[in-house]
C-alpha cells in the first residue's frame, strides 16, 4: 500500500514531509520476502519469510556483480498471506518460514539478490527484491580485500512497514514520528536493493538558475514512480553495488561481510590486508568501531570511500533489533544516567559519549555534513580541490596544487565528513579540537554546511532547515546562541589520510565517491586504484 493514497492533497501538501511506505493490502496481489539473517556462510541454510497474496510465486536467487548469475530458482511456490502487525517495522513482521535453501559449499562470497515474482489477479507482473551476503568459507583465501556493507545505515533508512529512524507510523499523535527502535525482520523498501537505469541520485546534476527554489530530484522521482523516498540514501542499489561492479571490472577480488559481522564476528577482519567501506555509513555500534580500531591497531588498512559518520547505534535481540534515539537520546534513551551511558545512541561527539568519530576514521559527519543539494550550496562544483598533490594518493594523477577533480560526476556530496581546520602557508591542517588523530593529512576538500539556507524564494519548501545546526550546538555546547551557530554553520568536507601502529586509514569523506566509479571519472578511478593497490601490496 502506498500510504500517500490516503493523504490529503491540500494546499500544504509536500512529498518532502510526507511518510509513504509499503505495507500489505488485502485487496491487492502482492509478494514480499525477507530472510532471517543478513549474512550466511556456505553450507548454512537461508530461511525465507514470504507473504504472498497470490496463488503461486517464483523465488530466484542471483549472485550480483558485473555478470549477475542465477544460482537457484524455485517455481510454483504456493502463496500464503499472513497478518502483518501495524508496528512490523518496529517489532518485525512475524511471518513464518515459507521456504529455505542450503548454500552450496562451493559458492563464493558475495552479494545475493532474492527476487520474488508473481502474476497478480489483474494479470500484472509483480516483483520484490531482497538481499543477503554470503561470507567466505575460508576468509582471506581468495581475496585481500574485505568489502563491508553498511547494513546498520540500510536499516536506519528502511521504511518498509512505515517506520525508520526518520519517520514513522508506530509513534506519535500524527502517526508520523521517527522510531528509535527498528526490526530487521521485514523486507527492504523498494529501491534499496535494485533500481532501474536512470533513477536520480541526491546531488543536483545541473546548476540552478538565479532565484530557483531548492530541488530534491530523487524524492520527486521516488514519489512519481512509487519507490521509497529513502532509496537514494542507503542500500546496495545506490552505493555498494557501484563499487562492486567497478572493482570486479578492474580485476580486484573481494570477499564480503556486513557491519553486523563487524559487530558479532570482528575476528573476520584479521584475515585481510584491506577493509573497504563505501557510500553512506552514518550509523555504527561501539562494537563495530572497536573491531576497526583493533584491526588498524594491528597493522590493517582501511579504505573508506564514504561519509556521514555521526550516530552511535545499538544492536539487540541477536542483531534483529536496532536502537538509535538520535536527537532525543538525552531525554528518551534508557541507558542515559546509567553505567552504560557510553552506549547512548546520540552523536559520537556528544560529551555524554565522548568518542569522536575522527578518532577512528580521521573525519566526522557532525563537522559540516551537507553539500550540493537542496539549500546546501546547490551551485557547488561537485568536486574536490587538491592541496597536497604530491601525496602518494595522487601518484600519476597529473594533478596540480589547486586543481579540481570529480566535478562531472559530482563525487563530492551529498553528505560529507570533515574536521575543524586552519590554513598555514596555503595548506590546510587539522586544529585537533574535534578528535582528529595525530598526523592526519588533509589532501583535498570543498565547502559544506550544516544549515540549509532559506533565501526566501517564492514557493520554496526546505527539507531540513536548521535542525541539525540546532542539535549540534545544543548537544555539544548546551546552548543555542548566535555565536555558537556562527561557529558551527560552515565548514568543509575533506579527503584525508593517517597512520597508526602500522595501519593506515584513507578517507575520501564523501558518500558520492562511488558515482565517480560508476561514471568512470578518471581521477576518481586512479585515486581508488592507488589506494587499493597500496593497501593490498605485500611490503616488508
Q: Do residues 373 and 262 both lie within one domain?
A: no
Report the SS3 class of residue 501: coil
Residue pLDDT, tens place only, 467-503: 999 999 999 999 999 999 999 999 999 999 999 988 9
In terms of residue numbers, what domain contains 319? 29-185+231-298+310-356
Write down the pLDDT at residue 133: 98
Write down the pLDDT at residue 6: 40
Q: Is residue 432 part of a domain?
A: yes
pLDDT at 8 over 50: no
Q: Do residues 69 and 211 both lie within one domain?
A: no
End-to-end CA separation in angstroms for the chain: 59
pLDDT at 284 over 80: yes
Beta bridge mates, 183? 321
CA-angle at 372, arms to 369 and 376, nearest 5°: 65
Eight-state DSSP code of residue 97: P
Q: Is residue 500 part of a domain?
A: no
Residue pLDDT, tens place only, 94-112: 999 999 999 999 999 999 9
Per the listing, cell 584491526 goes with: 295
Report the SS3 class of residue 422: strand
Residue pLDDT, tens place only, 229-269: 999 999 999 999 999 999 999 999 999 999 999 999 999 99
Write down the pLDDT at residue 10: 45
Write down the pLDDT at residue 305: 98
pLDDT at 414 over 90: yes
Residue pLDDT, tens place only, 353-368: 999 999 999 999 999 9
Q: Is residue 266 part of a domain?
A: yes
Round the average pLDDT of the chain to a whole number and report it.
94
Domain of 348, CATH number, reads: 2.60.40.1930
Which H or E element spans position 40? strand 39-40
Write down the pLDDT at residue 120: 85
pLDDT at 1 over 90: no
Q: Is residue 535 part of a domain?
A: no
- Of 171, 121, 154, give the one whose Cα is nearest residue 34: 154
Beta bridge mates, 284? 312
Write down the pLDDT at residue 172: 55
Write down the pLDDT at residue 175: 65
Q: What is the DSSP string of 181-192?
A: EEESSSPPPTTS
What mean pLDDT comes out for the span 454-460? 93
Q: Do residues 171 and 33 both lie within one domain?
A: yes
Report the SS3 class of residue 272: coil
- Reported confidence tier of residue 538, pLDDT bands at 50, 70, 90: low
Q: Is residue 530 part of a domain?
A: no
Write down the pLDDT at residue 257: 98
Beta bridge mates, 276? 147, 303
Write down the pLDDT at residue 9: 41
- Of 225, 162, 233, 134, give the one whose Cα is nearest residue 192: 233
Write down the pLDDT at residue 318: 96
pLDDT at 14 over 80: no
Q: Do residues 124 and 156 both lie within one domain?
A: yes
Q: Do residues 212 and 120 both lie within one domain?
A: no
Write down the pLDDT at residue 26: 76
Kindly report the backbone phi and psi dihedral angles of residue 403, in degrees, each rounded to the nearest multiple of 5, phi listed first: -65, 155
Write down the pLDDT at residue 417: 98
- CA torsion sign, 83 to 84 to 86 to 87? positive
- Reported confidence tier of residue 29, pLDDT bands at 50, 70, 90: confident
Strands 283-285 and 311-316: parallel
Write down the pLDDT at residue 502: 87
Q: Do residues 254 and 128 both lie within one domain?
A: yes
pLDDT at 540 over 60: no
Number of neighbouring beta carbons within 10 Å of residue 271: 15
Q: Do residues 161 and 258 both lie within one domain?
A: yes
Q: For residue 314, what is its C-alpha cell?
A: 545499538
- Reported confidence tier of residue 272, pLDDT bands at 50, 70, 90: very high
The residues, ordered by sequence, that sit 6+ positions from 138 with a Cβ below 8 Å of its Cβ are none
Q: Is residue 48 part of a domain?
A: yes
- Of 286, 321, 278, 12, give the one whose Cα is nearest residue 165: 321
- Of 88, 75, 83, 81, give the one whose Cα is nearest residue 22: 88
As a whole number of angstroms, the distance between CA 452 and CA 301 comes to 35
Kindly report the backbone phi and psi dihedral angles of residue 233, in degrees, each rounded to the nearest multiple of 5, phi listed first: -95, -30
Q: Do residues 382 and 454 both lie within one domain?
A: yes
Write down the pLDDT at residue 13: 59
The total of structural domains in the chain comes to 2
Percent of the chain with pLDDT over 90: 90
Q: Is residue 13 part of a domain?
A: no
Q: Do residues 73 and 177 both lie within one domain?
A: yes
Write down the pLDDT at residue 381: 95
Q: Is residue 7 part of a domain?
A: no
Q: Do residues 352 and 404 both lie within one domain?
A: no
What mean pLDDT comes out for the span 437-452? 97
Write down the pLDDT at residue 122: 83
As a whole number of angstroms, the distance between CA 361 and CA 301 comes to 11
Q: Do residues 239 and 385 both lie within one domain?
A: no
Say which range, 297-306, 390-399, 453-462, has the weakest mean pLDDT. 453-462
Q: Do residues 212 and 267 both lie within one domain?
A: no
Amino acid at each position: 500500500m502506498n500510504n500517500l493514497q490516503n493523504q490529503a492533497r491540500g494546499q500544504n501538501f509536500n512529498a518532502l514531509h510526507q511518510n509513504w511506505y509499503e505495507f500489505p493490502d488485502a485487496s491487492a496481489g502482492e509478494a514480499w520476502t525477507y530472510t532471517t539473517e543478513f549474512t550466511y556462510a556456505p553450507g548454512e541454510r537461508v530461511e525465507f519469510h514470504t507473504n504472498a497474496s497470490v496463488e503461486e510465486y517464483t523465488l530466484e536467487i542471483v549472485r550480483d556483480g558485473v555478470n549477475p548469475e542465477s544460482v537457484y530458482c524455485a517455481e510454483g511456490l504456493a502463496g500464503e498471506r499472513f497478518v502483518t502487525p501495524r508496528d512490523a517495522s518496529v517489532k518485525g513482521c512475524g511471518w513464518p518460514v515459507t521456504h529455505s535453501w542450503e548454500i552450496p559449499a562451493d559458492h563464493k562470497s558475495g552479494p545475493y539478490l532474492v527476487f520474488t515474482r508473481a502474476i497478480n489477479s489483474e494479470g500484472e507482473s509483480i516483483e520484490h527484491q531482497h538481499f543477503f551476503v554470503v561470507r567466505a568459507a575460508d576468509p582471506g583465501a581468495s581475496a585481500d580485500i574485505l568489502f563491508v556493507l553498511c547494513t546498520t545505515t540500510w536499516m536506519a533508512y528502511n521504511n518498509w512497514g512505515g517506520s525508520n529512524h526518520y519517520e514513522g507510523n508506530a509513534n506519535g499523535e500524527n502517526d508520523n514520528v521517527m522510531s528509535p527502535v527498528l526490526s530487521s525482520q521485514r523486507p527492504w523498501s523498494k529501491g534499496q536493493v535494485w533500481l532501474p537505469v536512470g533513477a536520480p541520485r541526491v546531488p543536483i546534476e545541473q546548476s540552478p538558475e538565479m532565484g530557483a527554489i531548492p530541488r530534491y530530484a530523487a524524492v520527486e522521482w521516488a514519489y512519481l514512480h512509487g519507490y521509497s523516498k529513502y532509496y537514494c540514501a542507503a542500500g546496495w542499489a545506490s552505493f555498494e553495488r557501484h563499487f562492486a561492479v567497478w572493482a570486479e571490472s578492474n580485476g580486484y577480488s573481494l570477499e564480503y561481510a556486513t557491519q553486523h559481522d563487524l559487530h558479532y564476528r570482528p575476528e573476520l577482519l584479521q584475515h585481510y590486508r584491506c577493509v573497504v567501506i563505501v557510500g553512506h555509513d552514518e550509523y555504527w555500534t561501539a562494537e563495530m568501531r572497536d573491531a576497526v580500531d583493533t584491526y588498524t591497531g594491528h597493522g590493517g588498512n582501511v579504505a573508506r570511500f564514504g561519509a556521514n559518520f555521526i550516530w552511535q547505534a545499538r544492536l539487540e535481540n541477536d542483531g534483529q533489533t536496532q536502537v538509535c534515539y538520535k536527537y532525543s537520546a538525552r531525554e528518551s534513551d534508557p541507558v542515559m544516567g546509567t553505567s552504560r551511558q557510553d552506549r547512548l545512541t546520540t552523536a559520537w561527539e556528544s560529551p555524554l559519549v565522548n568518542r569522536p568519530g575522527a578518532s577512528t576514521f580521521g573525519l566526522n559527519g557532525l563537522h559540516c555534513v551537507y553539500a550540493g543539494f537542496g539549500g546546501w550550496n546547490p551551485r557547488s562544483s561537485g568536486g574536490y580541490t587538491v592541496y597536497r598533490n604530491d601525496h602518494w594518493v595522487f601518484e600519476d594523477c597529473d594533478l596540480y596544487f589547486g586543481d579540481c577533480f570529480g566535478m562531472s560526476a559530482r563525487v563530492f556530496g551529498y553528505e560529507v565528513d570533515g574536521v575543524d581546520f586552519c590554513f598555514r602557508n596555503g595548506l590546510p591542517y587539522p586544529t585537533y579540537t574535534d578528535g582528529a588523530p595525530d598526523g592526519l593529512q588533509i589532501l583535498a576538500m570543498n565547502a559544506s554546511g550544516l544549515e540549509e539556507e532559506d533565501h526566501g524564494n517564492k514557493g520554496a519548501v526546505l527539507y531540513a532547515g536548521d535542525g541539525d545546526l540546532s542539535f549540534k550546538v545544543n548537544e555539544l555546547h548546551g546552548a543555542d546562541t548566535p555565536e555558537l551557530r556562527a561557529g558551527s554553520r560552515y565548514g568543509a568536507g575533506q579527503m584525508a589520510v593517517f597512520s597508526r601502529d602500522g595501519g593506515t586509514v584513507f578517507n575520501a569523506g564523501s558518500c558520492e565517491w562511488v558515482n565517480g566509479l560508476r561514471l568512470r571519472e578518471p581521477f576518481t578511478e586512479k585515486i581508488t586504484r592507488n589506494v587499493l593497490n597500496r593497501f593490498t601490496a605485500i611490503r616488508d
